Chains A and B, each alone.
Chain A
């Protein structure tokens, strides 16, 4: 049930909503890709999803307390993000939109750094080169083109189809259902197709672009866009972390080997609001939310772990303690993030000196000094 006309037909699924493994003739190849995952691997996926959920909860609470200007939750989309990101090779490069907290978790971007943007303390927050993760992009879909250009660069660097797993490089761009309506995403698909870029377009169809259902963006399943551009596409159950891992692994293999781009539509649901600014009760039903709550990606993997005897209470308590510690760290360290100095607004506008910036910087510094001098005089006078 998604309330739209695009439906759930043709989704690759390896775990059903109850956490039981699904074995069909069609998913045999994908099953093969997860067959090698050990109990530790599965618990690792669970941990990343659980920490992502906790990150969301704490950040939302911080926003409610006025510590963040805005926050965009990933709750409900953990499987799509963690499953896909876990498939990446270290040298692969990620272009996220602004909700990819699960991807950040997997790539090791510091949790406090992830909130600098939302706190209004920094427009970025982390060093893209450190984790091979580009900065969050707020203009919907514009980064799909950056990813495509970057992938064209990777291609020029000769890092595709070398046969060396440590060298072959792919670029993954994350975007949402609303972004598929943007010209830039469509242009990115054109450029990617004609250049055969080593690229994965990872579309998280979370059913709602703020208040607009997917039916306002498309009349057909979004994955159907791919073939029109000459890009192979696959629809996957986005709440099934194993299926998301498997389809991404397949797409990355294609990209790494020189087979070109793939479009993945992860059919999922955002359980929260689009951001802390909107109220989902105005545009969607409780029944719909309940339907998706029963398909929770974290519960689903937990059920699998239990069914296969991989659930370990001591380990689970460890994950819970880790989540508690993460929450505590966010509560303390986000509040401690100070404002940058005023002069920071003039830094890095250009890579080289620019007379207009220098003019404005000098004016502002002089103004600030004059104000301080006035204050000092006033203090002196009233003493």
Chain B
């Protein structure tokens, strides 16, 4: 057991993946000598060489497009997109090519590409550096979309992502990069870790569904609720696509109340999908409508306003209060 930052846990996960499979390689802007702008790939080029940890031209579509070609040739590229808002030049390659290659070849071609994207806000960055585009990818069949919320899951999930025969969009909550947690580097990862939600905190009165950066927010809210005598259950989705509907529904059937929390805008988002599936499958167990806590239908605001945009503990508590008051 080691105490590691979230970022370091991913570094060690990538290191293990490179050591496990000599077809795996890391590619992206500044991932080599600099170790990435968040230092997530720090030290990997020194250890594995320029051939395995590749500094690419400054072209996101080029990074993903050539990764597809490498994957077709039998390699396992792990692409780093420097910031969430910079994934859009590669959006075409991801949605029209990467996601569909296996399907349109009727399974003859495999493209095991991982795309790591530091996402989300709360670090006081300038525009295009704090976005949450996960719903755009989750809406695209053929992609697996995941986001870890703890250093242990980050370590396990990045290894599972690299080993996956499917393309994986790996959203790293950049605001959590420096948070620390215990990581067992030797334990076998939970089976199906890219497909299954986990109960981050058990409870009986209300289900709070979250993933990535908002799991910490939900847990803080649950702490506060415990002080008021309310036992909140926090479900960490881990996987956004596929959504672990049975896990969420099982929780809501126990609690009768559901609040979904994410940083991305609520409209047309992952929370809407969760709400719809819970309504379809647990309608008679619900004692209140599913309530969403998320970003607004506005571009990610300037850093000086992001504290009003991001789901806060207070906004989660307000949502829980509204649910319980029904």
Q: Does A151 interact with chain B (Cβ within 8 Å)? A: yes
Kindly list chain B residues whose C-beta atoms are within 8 Å of the C-beta of A152: 66, 69-70, 73
Kindly state the separation between the CA atoms of A153 and B54 in the bound complex, as whole angstroms: 13
From A123, which residue of chain B is reached at the shortest CB distance? B104
Contact A154/B245 with A123-B100, A124-B105 known, Cβ cut-off 8 Å: no
| Contact assessment for B108 and A150 in the assembled complex, using a CB-CB cutoff below 8 Å | no
Q: Does B124 interact with chain A (Cβ within 8 Å)? A: no
Q: Which of B69, B142, B165 has the most CB of A within 10 A?
A: B69
| Contact assessment for A148 and B66 in the assembled complex, using a CB-CB cutoff below 8 Å | yes
How many pairs, one residue from A and one from B, have CB atoms within 8 Å of each other in the complex?
Answer: 145
Contact A149/B68 with A142-B93, A191-B57, A350-B166 known, Cβ cut-off 8 Å: yes
Q: Does A134 interact with chain B (Cβ within 8 Å)? A: yes
| Contact assessment for A150 and B57 in the assembled complex, using a CB-CB cutoff below 8 Å | no
Q: Which residues 39-72 of B have a CB within 8 angstroms of A? A: 51, 56-57, 59, 61-62, 64-72
Q: Does B242 interact with chain A (Cβ within 8 Å)? A: yes
Kindly list chain B residues whose C-beta atoms are within 8 Å of the C-beta of A350: 102, 142, 144, 166
From A136, which residue of chain B is reached at the shortest CB distance? B104
| Contact assessment for B61 and A146 in the assembled complex, using a CB-CB cutoff below 8 Å | no
Kindly list chain A residues whose C-beta atoms are within 8 Å of the C-beta of B56: 191
Kindly state the separation between the CA atoms of A165 and B62 in the bound complex, as whole angstroms: 30
Kindly list chain A residues whose C-beta atoms are within 8 Å of the C-beta of B242: 354-357
Task: Give the Cβ gap from B243 to chain A, nearest Cβ, in Å.
Answer: 7
| Contact assessment for B68 and A183 in the assembled complex, using a CB-CB cutoff below 8 Å | no
| Contact assessment for A149 and B69 in the assembled complex, using a CB-CB cutoff below 8 Å | yes
From B112, which residue of chain A is reached at the shortest CB distance? A351
Q: Which residues 343-364 of A have a CB within 8 angstroms of B? A: 347-352, 354-357, 359
Q: Does B164 interact with chain A (Cβ within 8 Å)? A: yes
Kindly state the separation between the CA atoms of A344 and B304 in the bound complex, as whole angstroms: 51
| Contact assessment for A139 and B106 in the assembled complex, using a CB-CB cutoff below 8 Å | no
Main secondary structure of the interface of A (DSSP, over half): helix
Q: Which residues 167-197 of A have a CB within 8 angstroms of B? A: 183-184, 187-188, 190-191, 194
Q: Does A308 interact with chain B (Cβ within 8 Å)? A: no
Kindly list chain A residues whose C-beta atoms are within 8 Å of the C-beta of B51: 156
| Contact assessment for B103 and A349 in the assembled complex, using a CB-CB cutoff below 8 Å | yes
User: How many residues of chain A have a CB within 8 Å of chain B?
Assistant: 42
Q: Which residues 259-303 of B have a CB within 8 angstroms of A? A: none
Kindly state the separation between the CA atoms of A281 and B68 in the bound complex, as whole angstroms: 39
Kindly state the separation between the CA atoms of A58 and B17 in the bound complex, as whole angstroms: 51
Contact A351/B110 with A156-B51, A187-B65 known, Cβ cut-off 8 Å: yes
Q: Does B92 interact with chain A (Cβ within 8 Å)? A: yes
Kindly state the separation between the CA atoms of A150 and B72 in the bound complex, as whole angstroms: 7
| Contact assessment for B61 and A348 in the assembled complex, using a CB-CB cutoff below 8 Å | no
From B25, which residue of chain A is reached at the shortest CB distance? A156
Q: Does B306 interact with chain A (Cβ within 8 Å)? A: no
Q: Does A41 interact with chain B (Cβ within 8 Å)? A: no
Contact pick for A151, options B69, B109, B144, CB 8 Å? B69
| Contact assessment for B69 and A348 in the assembled complex, using a CB-CB cutoff below 8 Å | no
Task: Give the Cβ gap from A34 to chain B, nearest Cβ, in Å.
Answer: 31
| Contact assessment for B73 and A153 in the assembled complex, using a CB-CB cutoff below 8 Å | yes
From B71, which residue of chain A is reached at the shortest CB distance? A149
Kindly list chain A residues whose C-beta atoms are within 8 Å of the C-beta of B223: none
Please, what's the 1-or-0 string for B116-151, where 1 marks a CB less than 8 Å from any CB in chain A?
000000000000000000000000011010000000
Q: Which 6 A-B pairs have the closest CB atoms?
A: A149-B69, A145-B65, A153-B73, A123-B104, A149-B66, A187-B62
**Which residues of B does A touch, CB under 8 Å?**
51, 56-57, 59, 61-62, 64-75, 77, 89, 92-93, 96-97, 100, 102-110, 112, 141-142, 144, 164-166, 195, 241-245
Q: Knowing that A149-B69, A150-B72, A355-B242 are A-B contacts, what are 12 other residue pairs whose CB atoms are under 8 Å apart, sorted by A's residue number?
A: A123-B103, A124-B106, A128-B105, A145-B69, A146-B97, A148-B69, A149-B77, A153-B73, A153-B75, A156-B70, A187-B57, A351-B110
Q: Can you identify 13 A-B contacts, CB atoms within 8 angstroms? A: A122-B104, A124-B108, A135-B105, A142-B96, A145-B65, A146-B68, A146-B97, A148-B66, A148-B69, A156-B70, A349-B141, A354-B144, A355-B242
